[in-house]
Chain A
Amino acid sequence: MGFLNLQNSHREEKLNVIDVTVPRVVKKLRNPMRSSSKVRLDRVTRFVLWFTLALLAMLIIFPLGNILVTASRESGREVFAALFSSSVTQQIVKNTILLGVTVGLLGTSIGFLFAYAQTRLEFRGKRILHIISLVPLISPPFAFATAIIILFGRSGIITRDLLGLSPILYGFPGLVIVLTTSFFPVAYMNILGMMRSLDPSLDEAASILGASKFRVFVKVTLPMLIPGIASSFLLLFVESIADLANPLVIGGDFTVLSSRAYIAINGDYDVAAGAAYSVVLLIPGLLVFLLQRYWAQRRNIVSVTGKPSGRISPVESKSAKIALLAVPFTVSFLIVLVYITVIVGGFVKVLGVNNTLTMEHYSYVFSGIGNEAIFKTTLLALIATPLAGIFGMILAWLIVRKIRRGRQAMDFLGMLGIAVPGTVLGIGYAVTFNHTTKLGNFGIVPQLAGGGAIFGGALAIIMVYTIRSSPAGQRSGIAALQQIDPAIDEAASSLGASGVVTFRKITLPLIRGALLTGLMFAFARSMTTLSPIIFITTPDTPIMTSRILSEVDGGRFGNAFAFSSILIVLVLIALGVINLFVKGRPTLSLTTPID
């Protein structure tokens, strides 16, 4: 499975492939050498630029604007006021930040340990450890949290039946375990790529000068990794606070902003308040982008761009090895247990209570109710995948190569698709596209969402999939483009090729790997997206994740597990196929689903 091998074939890639910090991109662009490549935009490129902007406006700006309008209604304003006056609301904000910081720290640490093990240790099972660590990137909603309760809950298979314990996981501890395990791969991939491209000669030099291994690590290696660690932390922070499915299952009394927004809409019938909570949730997301920019502009220690030279001397001490490997192996074991639970759960009556083998869940899922959902979800995700991949590449190309002013803003707009909590996006789409809109004198936006829309509302779902998964391609595209010498573009231009021809004939073939990454993530993410879908699914577009939600709601976990297993298999098959069709090595970027 090529998707899972991503990183191992990555040794020769340059540092910037995994560069995720937006601002650093910007910094590179400020380099006078690079900016000389900015040629006057030809007509076709200008058309592409305007078309892209129009798409961005349609896909994200317009729906978000509507959310802001909704949130400024009376009950929304009450929420904003309560931020300053109500201790309950303040507690929710504190909980959210506490959760984000904890998951950010833990996830980054675990990701770091995995990356360290891959690059600096020699041990058996290295490759399998790598593959296991990427598995949580395909996690259907609810599967992780539900499996954890079945395994480690008060009457869990492992905790009570094997160990005689009955811990109470609901609330903060459970959330941290689940979110950390499902999100750490982002940090892992980030840091791994960075560590691989570090120049070992620096370590060697320090060792020769008499520094101990530990001292080398603290004084030489770590400072160079800080930008990667920081961006991992910030990403995990955003992802964990925007997550909805897990707080719903295992959150206990620990209310966070995303679950509060859900309560507002589902319990209080108050969309305005829900929108307001979501807007509050957006603030940390915005801060993250600003912080990243600030951080990377001040600190840019890593400037290695050539091939690493020299050899890394692996850690030899046995006790150190055991200490360093303990966490990665425990976490991997946990991941394997969770996925086994999901798969086995689909084949037994009630896992842990009545372990009789049965096919009833699968026959339910494959009956009329599930069949259509499986087919349509896959179809829509398959349509959205190339759209998201290409849109991401075009955005990256425009940002890196074509536009001078406002490229940060454009990059930011492109990334909003993952920074915005899914619920917000969903409501934004429902409010915006459920009816025809007249846009001043410029034209008309037809109804795209809802049962009454063309194609039974399928367009809106494809749009959501696209805007939520294009950031992956955008990021890896930006990273890849920066490695390609603009002189190649210039050569093409001076031979008379237009911007678009250059892109198609020169640039695109060179960034195939980035495109491949974008496509793979786009598919995995589309298939597992839930929270925006709830608000735009129609009878003609039954979606698997929303079926999973129905089954979980009704307590039929066997059916939910069966659906989840099918979803995992479908994603794996599609990733294999994408890998076959698009030749080139996938490069990595930062993304996993934010829901």
Chain B
Amino acid sequence: MTKLRITTMASMAVMILSLSGLVISPADAAVDRSGKVCVQEGMVVSSGGVTNTCAKTDKGLFYTPSRKLSGSLTVVCGATEAWCGAMTKAFTNKTGVNTKFVRLSSGETVARLDAAKNNPEFDVWHGGPADGFGVARIGNLIEKYLSPTRNMIPAKYQDTDGYWTGVYVGALGFCSNTKELKRLGVAVPRSWADLLNPKLKRQISTAHPSTSGTAFTTLWTQVTRLGSEEAGIAYMKKLHNNILQYTKSGVGPVQIVGRGEAAIGIVFSHDCVAGAEQGLPLKVSFPSEGTGYEIGGVALVKGAKNPEAAKAYIDFALSAEAQNLGPTVAAYQVLTNPRTKLDRRMVALKKLAIVNYDFEKAAASKKALTARFDSEVAVAPKV
């Protein structure tokens, strides 16, 4: 009883402290029955091979006794090498499950999941984009899993049916090379309309919507904000004159802009921030008309060899503790768990004008829309 009371009191203290934005030291933290520390709800701790997830109840923080884990785990990871490495290492340290990863783009992931459908080589897909999960679900490659931690994640950042759950969110923004803009005599862009400035001829770098989720987000944002595919394509046609080249990867423009090959890139803002941290003269801005966003999620692979560990990994990935690893490895995406620490390098989503992005509709329209982009926009001569 005493311990329970301590737990309750401590958890209140934790909540007050976290609300006031102070760092919580273990001394202030809740202590569970086995004496383990549970600093935040959504945190995963493990002792003696038993993993627990700190979840929220009306009483505060407590542990959900989890399954006993063993064996090894293979993650196919779409985030950066460093982030994937930090995540899997932390999970191994916590649970003793030997966790390894392969970093693959989402297209390669789907291709490999499909090729090994009958004998999956991966257990978890971490860091995939919503549209990739959509394709994997249709192909029967991922499996529904409702993590207990899932309830903490805002509903708009997860699949309603539980096939995947969001771990991070990235907002589309403009990434400007301040030196180049100065040279061209152009102000930092604040709207989609600013990008059509004739002074920016062949000065904008963006990816191709077929190969890059980032660029498709750009395209769909135009469709959403202008009201129709027709209008969206029309905008992209105008923008086409100012495009240097359509890169294959969504992050590509950051380097291109960073070294002054182009003046402005249309990228997810966190990639621009990471570029600026490398020492590139970059500045992030957002369009006033509204911008789009992406969700990176985590999903259970169908027929996973070690489903218990895979589910525990998903619980872990959704926890505040795991998500907080992001900024430590230069990943500045907005984290989906509301209890995570806010890093000043992350974008404050609440302050942004965001379009009403319909992921399902976007995914359904993708193939036809990118084909249209290919034949009507990308091949047009630049005038």
Residue of A with least CB distance to B267? A555
Residue of A with least CB distance to B103? A550
Complex formed: what's the CA distance from A453 to B132 in Å? 25
Q: How many of chain A's residues have a CB under 8 angstroms from any CB in B?
A: 62
Q: Is B120 an interface residue (CB 8 A)?
A: yes
Residues facing A in B230-267 (CB within 8 A) are: 244-246, 248-249, 251-252, 254-255, 258-262
Complex formed: what's the CA distance from A252 to B111 in Å? 25
Contact B280 A266 (CB under 8 A): no
Chain A residues near B66: list those with CB within 8 A. none
Contact A262 B211 (CB under 8 A): yes
Chain A residues near B261: list those with CB within 8 A. 149, 153-155
User: Chain A 163-200, CB within 8 Å of chain B: the 1/0 string?
Assistant: 00000101100000000000000000000000000000
Residue of B with least CB distance to A367? B85
Residues facing B in A415-432 (CB within 8 A) are: 427, 430-431
Chain A residues near B105: list those with CB within 8 A. 266, 553
- Shortest C-beta distance, A82 to chain B (Å), equals 10
- Shortest C-beta distance, A319 to chain B (Å), equals 39
- Stretch of A116-124, A350-358, A471-479, A522-530 on the interface side: A350-358
- Stretch of B292-300, B335-343, B373-381 on the interface side: B373-381
Chain B residues near A170: list those with CB within 8 A. 244-245
Contact B108 A535 (CB under 8 A): yes
Residue of B with least CB distance to A174? B245
Contact B305 A452 (CB under 8 A): yes
Contact A430 B115 (CB under 8 A): yes
Complex formed: what's the CA distance from A19 to B262 in Å? 47
Contact A447 B119 (CB under 8 A): yes
Complex formed: what's the CA distance from A435 to B116 in Å? 7
Q: Is A554 an interface residue (CB 8 A)?
A: yes
Q: Is A12 an interface residue (CB 8 A)?
A: no
- Shortest C-beta distance, A69 to chain B (Å), equals 12
- Shortest C-beta distance, B213 to chain A (Å), equals 9
Complex formed: what's the CA distance from A373 to B2 in Å? 52
Number of residue pairs A-B, CB distance < 8 angstroms: 165
Q: Is B112 an interface residue (CB 8 A)?
A: yes
Tell which of A262, A269, A353, A354 touches B135, judged by Cβ atoms closer than 8 Å.
A269
* Given A253-B245, A267-B208, A430-B115, A538-B378 contact (CB < 8 Å): no
Contact A451 B378 (CB under 8 A): no
* Given A353-B259, A534-B108, A88-B116 contact (CB < 8 Å): no
Interface centre among B251, B259, B280 (most CB of A within 10 A): B259
- Shortest C-beta distance, A200 to chain B (Å), equals 50
Contact A354 B367 (CB under 8 A): no
Complex formed: what's the CA distance from A349 to B276 in Å? 12
* Given A353-B258, A555-B254, A269-B245 contact (CB < 8 Å): no
Chain B residues near A457: list those with CB within 8 A. 121
Contact B116 A350 (CB under 8 A): no
- Given contact pairs A263-B211, A353-B259, a sample of 12 additional A-B residue pairs in the complex whose CB atoms are under 8 Å apart: A153-B261, A155-B261, A170-B244, A251-B245, A263-B208, A265-B107, A266-B211, A267-B370, A349-B278, A350-B258, A430-B111, A538-B102
Query: Which residues of A are interface residues toward B (Cβ below 8 A)?
Result: 86-88, 91, 149-150, 153-155, 160, 168, 170-171, 248, 251-253, 259, 262-263, 265-269, 271, 274, 349-350, 352-354, 356, 368-369, 427, 430-431, 434-436, 447, 450-453, 457, 534-535, 537-540, 546-547, 550-551, 553-557
The 3 lowest CB-CB distance pairs between A and B, nearest first, are A266-B107, A539-B100, A155-B260
